Structure 1
Amino acid sequence: MWTTEDSIELYGIEKWGNGYFSVNDNGNIIILPKKSPEQSVDIMDLIEEMEKSRDLEFPVLLRFPQILEDRIDEITGAFMGAIEEFDYSGTYQPIFPMKVNQRKEVIEYIIKFGAKHNIGMEVGTKAELLAALSLGLPRDAPLICNGYKDEDYLRLALSVHNLNNIIIVVDLFEEIYDILKYADAMGVVPRVGMRVKLFARGSGRWVESGGESAKFGLSTSEALELLRILDERGLKGCLKMLHFHIGSQITDIRTVKNAMNEAARIYAKVRKICDIKYLNVGGGLSVDYNGSNTATPSSANYSLQEYANDVVYTVQKICDDEEVPYPTIVSESGRAIAAYHSLLIFKIIGRKNAKSSPLHPPDDEAPIQIDDLC
């Protein structure tokens, strides 16, 4: 007799579902927004209600905002747990990169549920910056400006600089000249971040977005020149953030450790020159889509807590070695926050099954070529 446990094992749902998906005694998929059996939703019950509605047509995308809240709490809790365990005297700052999901309702939920953690936003265009400004982000929550920055983008960021905690990250070396030019013309002292290219590379499908050949980021010589320019103009205090990103969906924890060792060492050297507040470890926190817990492209060989522990421990160790203050650790977790919270339901309009093929075995008198083809 087929049981619920058989379905769970066959589909591996408890391996990739991360506690948010399971199967009930009726054999139906259920959603557990808070990972609690007492608060679950039978998907078949929802489908039956939708079929009765005249206002809904399939396909339908379901969103569970409670999962967004739980993911923000879990990620922040993992870092705060590591900070407590290692007696790290700094703190943690969560950031959601808007490019991961730009839907207004999703961003509003993230800002609402993340308010207790002072969650900030990362934007990559002028349009995203305008959207972020319109959604009532807390004044002291970081608003990180990445991406290519033309004059309109920079002027907008600088015009609201004193109303929001905006940090303009230099992704390409030439941007520092424009930032300083427009800031001077507008009478603003900017808060600047510096994105560096690490020699360490990511792992998985997006491995090419990191390393020396990465499109964005400053080389060592460019980073030194940027520091010289700021020092020459008496603006060393403007540099508030060191940032790096070695790719999305990092599958191997060794990659994280290598990158953190290099980035933390760079932070320590720069911290001796400038009063940097934030060390931004970028994105890359993986989602185990297939539940294999391996370093394959659709999985990860580490847990959330292991990731947080390695980041905090490495930064602390190198800061102690270099005798510099601990930074506020920033991570831009987009996929890890949003991946689980939505579910697409669509009607099956047909099926194709190789096992139901009409092909019959050839008879004994059939030519050998027909036999070979079969």
Structure 2
Amino acid sequence: MWKAEDSLDLYGIENWGNGYFSVNDKGNIIIFPNKDRTQSVDVMDLIEEIERSKDLEFPVLLRFPQMLEDRINEITGAFLGAIDEFSYKGTYQPIFPMKVNQRKEVIEYIIKYGAKYHIGLEVGTKAELLAALSLGLPRDAPLICNGYKDEDYLRLALSIHNVNNIIIVVDLFEEIFDILKYAAEMGIVPRVGMRVKLFARGSGRWVESGGEAAKFGLSTSEALELMKILREKGLIDSLKMIHFHIGSQITDIRTIKNAMNEAARIYAKVRKMTGIEYLNVGGGLSVDYNGSNTATPSSANYTLQEYANDVVYTVQKICEDEDVPCPTIVSESGRAIAAYHSMLIFKVIGRKNAKDSLLRTPKEEDPIQIDDLCSAFKEIDIDNYKEHYHDALQYRD
């Protein structure tokens, strides 16, 4: 007889669910919004309630804001734990990138639940900046401006410098001239950051967004020239942040280690010439979608705590080696915060069993490869699918 444990094993829910999902004795998916095993939501009960409703119809997107709170607590807690373990002499600052989820209610929940950590926002357009300003972000919460910046975007960001804790990140070298020009016209001393290109590259699907050929970021020579320009204008203390981003969904911890070594060294060298305060490690914290705990594109071969430990330890070690103060570590782990909290439910309008339509009994005159393929097709399961997949590729070729 099929049991709930069989479903958990077949679909690997315990591996990818991160404690939020399971199966009850009725065989239904259940959700633990804050990982409290005594408080669960039966998804089938919700579906039946929606079907009875006169105001709702499928498809329906369910949101569990408690998961947002839990993820903010977990990520911040991991960094605070690492800071305590390694006696790190700086602090940690969480940031949520609005491009990850721009829904008003989602951002409001994140600001509410992250208030105790002074969680800030990252925006990449003028529209996102306007949206962020409408949400009542606390004055001490950082508001980081990235992306392509036209005159309207820059003037808006500069105009509220004295109201919000805004840092305008120079993603392209030419932007520094516009920032300084408009700031001078408005009589404002800007707070700026610079995004640097690392030689280290990411891993997974977004590997091309990092490395020295990345679209955004300053080369070493451009970063030095930017600091020279600021120094000549008496604005070197306006440089507040170094930022890097080597891609989303970084699946291999070695990639993170390499990037952190390079970025922390850059910070230390810059800190000797400026009063820079923040090292922004960007996004990249992976979500293990398939539960395999590997460096494949939909997984990660590391844990949240390992990630935080490596970031904090590396920065601490290099700052001690270079004899410079430790920065406030900033991370923009938007995917890791928001990925679990929503579920799309839609009606099945048809089905096709490809397995039944493709399977046939080999004939005597068939090549041996056909017989091998049919045998693999019959024997494949969740434990051996990779082996049979590799065999099938060989038979095909």
Normalised-by-shorter TM-score class: over 0.9
2:340 matched residue in structure 1: 340
Cα 1:62–1:233 shift into 2, 3 Å: same
1:259 matched residue in structure 2: 259
Q: Structure 2 CA distance, aligned partners of 1:361 and 1:187?
A: 81
1:172 matched residue in structure 2: 172
Superposed CA deviations along residues 183-205 of structure 1, whole A, max 9, x for unmatched, are 00000000000100000000000
Q: Which residue type is aligned with residue 211 of structure 1?
A: G
1:1-374 to 2 correspondence within 5 Å? 1-357=1-357
Which secondary structure does the structure 2 equivalent of 1:66 belong to?
A: helix
Q: Structure 2 CA distance, aligned partners of 1:69 and 1:225?
A: 42
Which secondary structure does the structure 2 equivalent of 1:30 belong to?
A: strand
Cα 1:8–1:181 shift into 2, 3 Å: same
Which secondary structure does the structure 2 equivalent of 1:172 belong to?
A: coil
Superposed CA deviations along residues 321-357 of structure 1, whole A, max 9, x for unmatched, are 0000000000001100000000011111110002443
Q: Structure 1 CA distance, aligned partners of 2:357 and 2:194?
A: 60
Shift of 1:289: 0.4
Q: Structure 2 CA distance, aligned partners of 1:363 and 1:278?
A: 69
Q: Which residue type is aligned with residue 262 of structure 2?
A: E
Shift of 1:25: 1.3
Shift of 1:361: 6.7
Which secondary structure does the structure 1 equivalent of 2:58 belong to?
A: coil
Shift of 1:57: 0.7
Q: Structure 1 CA distance, aligned partners of 2:227 and 2:190?
A: 15
Q: Structure 2 CA distance, aligned partners of 1:97 and 1:156?
A: 19
Cα 1:26–1:183 shift into 2, 3 Å: same
Cα 1:360–1:118 shift into 2, 3 Å: closer
Q: Structure 1 CA distance, aligned partners of 2:339 and 2:219?
A: 32
Aligned length: 370
Which secondary structure does the structure 1 equivalent of 2:114 belong to?
A: helix
- TM normalised by structure 2 equals 0.91
Q: Structure 1 CA distance, aligned partners of 2:359 and 2:280?
A: 60
Cα 1:188–1:357 shift into 2, 3 Å: same
Which secondary structure does the structure 2 equivalent of 1:139 belong to?
A: coil
Q: Which residue type is aligned with residue 61 of structure 1?
A: L
Q: Structure 2 CA distance, aligned partners of 1:149 and 1:333?
A: 23
Q: Structure 2 CA distance, aligned partners of 1:282 and 1:263?
A: 11
Which secondary structure does the structure 2 equivalent of 1:357 belong to?
A: helix
Q: Structure 2 CA distance, aligned partners of 1:160 and 1:181?
A: 16
Shift of 1:114: 0.6
Superposed CA deviations along residues 140-177 of structure 1, whole A, max 9, x for unmatched, are 10000000000000000000110000000000000000
Which secondary structure does the structure 2 equivalent of 1:35 belong to?
A: coil
Q: Structure 2 CA distance, aligned partners of 1:283 and 1:37?
A: 30
Cα 1:106–1:363 shift into 2, 3 Å: closer
Q: Structure 2 CA distance, aligned partners of 1:97 and 1:208?
A: 20
Q: Which residue type is aligned with residue 334 of structure 2?
A: G
Shift of 1:3: 1.2
5+ residue gaps in structure 1? none
Cα 1:41–1:359 shift into 2, 3 Å: closer
Q: Structure 1 CA distance, aligned partners of 2:9 and 2:255?
A: 31
Shift of 1:362: 10
Cα 1:360–1:243 shift into 2, 3 Å: closer
Shift of 1:39: 1.2
Q: Which residue type is aligned with residue 77 of structure 1?
A: G
Shift of 1:359: 8.7
Cα 1:54–1:223 shift into 2, 3 Å: same
5+ residue gaps in structure 2? 375-397
Give the percent of matched residue pairs that are identical in Structure 1 and Structure 2: 84
Q: Which residue type is aligned with residue 250 of structure 2?
A: I
Which secondary structure does the structure 1 equivalent of 2:166 belong to?
A: strand
Q: Which residue type is aligned with residue 237 of structure 1?
A: D
Q: Which residue type is aligned with residue 208 of structure 1?
A: E
Q: Structure 2 CA distance, aligned partners of 1:208 and 1:263?
A: 18
Q: Structure 2 CA distance, aligned partners of 1:39 and 1:270?
A: 50
